[in-house]
Structures are given as C-alpha cells and as structure tokens.
C-alpha cells in the first residue's frame, strides 16, 4: 500500500514539475523544451507497462492543454513514442529523433504553426537530446530519494 502511494506521488510530482518546466523554460525560435515528452519516455522505460503508457496519455493531454493543441495531437504521439521506447529500451538516443519527428508531426497537423519547419527540426535535435539526458538524471535521482522502487 505504501509503495503504491509513493508511486502515485512520484508520478503526480513528475507530471506537475514537467508541465511547469515546459511553461517556464524559454523557447528558441519556437522550439520549446520537451520535458513532458522526455518524462513520458522515462516512465515508459522505468515503470510498469500500464503506468508508463498511462503516463504517456496523461503527459500528452497536459501538453495538448498547455500548447492549445487540438485534442489527441500530442496524446497519440506520446503513446506511440512510449510503446516504441518500451520496444527499443532506450531513451536518450530515441529523443534525438523523437523530438524532430514531433516537430514534423505538429507541422503536418497544424499548418499555421509558428516558425520555419526546417529551423525547428534542426534545433530540436540537440534540445531533445539535452532534455532527455537532464530528465533521465533528475528523475533517476528523485526516484531513488523517494524510494519509489522499494517493495514492502
């Protein structure tokens, strides 16, 4: 029971902190920092399948809400990304390609999106990788401090 409560608090903490960071961190030429996407990949890899996929849906819904995107735009991408991450078992290398593909995904579904698509794709490669590294390190540290993986 205590382990489930710790898991729940950790997931809510990661979701709220990721949403806050996405809003507060600056954008470069319309390219933001994909904290929620990197967190969804982390949860897909380091938590159970049900929790990881549920978190991907929640993170996608929060991303859609924060960015004023049409419903299910980010949810569908985050869910597919979480499934791919579970199949491949990698997060940092996946984010090098996942975030640029997300920029293309947004350009396809939202043709009036601000900024040039090519500049966004080029900028999103290093931003996605750096974010994945930072999120992976931070959530691993928080997970250990919270003892989220302990079984009682």
Average pLDDT over the chain, rounded to whole? 86
For residue 145, with 0-12 CB atoms within 10 Å meaning exposed, 13-18 middle and 19 or more buried, which class applies? exposed
Q: How many angstroms separate the CA atoms of 100 and 117, rounded?
A: 10
**78-112 residues labelled b (16+ CB within 10 A) or e (exposed):** bbebbeebeeeeebbebbeebbbebbebbbeeeee
Q: What is the pLDDT of residues 17-62, one digit of tens each?
A: 999 999 999 988 778 899 999 999 999 998 889 999 999 999 999 9
pLDDT value at residue 22: 92
Q: What is the pTM of this model?
A: 0.89
| Confidence grade of residue 16 (pLDDT, cut at 50, 70, 90) | very high
pLDDT value at residue 88: 86
Q: How many angstroms separate the CA atoms of 106 and 70, rounded?
A: 10
**pLDDT above 90 for 2:** no
Lowest mean pLDDT among 56-60, 124-128, 144-148: 144-148
Of 150 and 23, more confident: 23
- Residue range 72-100: mean pLDDT, rounded: 87
- In three-state secondary structure terms, 100 is helix
């Amino acid at each position: 029971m205590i382990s489930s409560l710790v898991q729940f608090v950790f997931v809510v903490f990661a979701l709220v902190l990721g949403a806050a960071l996405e809003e507060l961190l600056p954008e470069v030429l319309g390219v933001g920092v994909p904290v929620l996407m990197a967190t969804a990949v982390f949860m897909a890899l380091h938590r159970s399948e049900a929790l990881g996929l549920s978190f991907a849906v929640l993170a996608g819904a929060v991303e859609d809400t924060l960015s004023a995107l049409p419903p299910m735009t980010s949810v569908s991408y985050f869910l597919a990304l979480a499934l791919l991450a579970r199949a491949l078992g990698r997060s940092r290398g996946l984010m090098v390609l996942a975030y640029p593909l997300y920029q293309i995904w947004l350009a396809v579904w939202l043709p009036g999106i601000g900024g040039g698509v090519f500049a966004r794709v080029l900028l999103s490669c290093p931003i996605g990788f750096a974010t994945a590294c930072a999120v992976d390190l931070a959530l691993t540290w928080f997970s250990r401090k919270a003892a989220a993986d302990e079984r009682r």
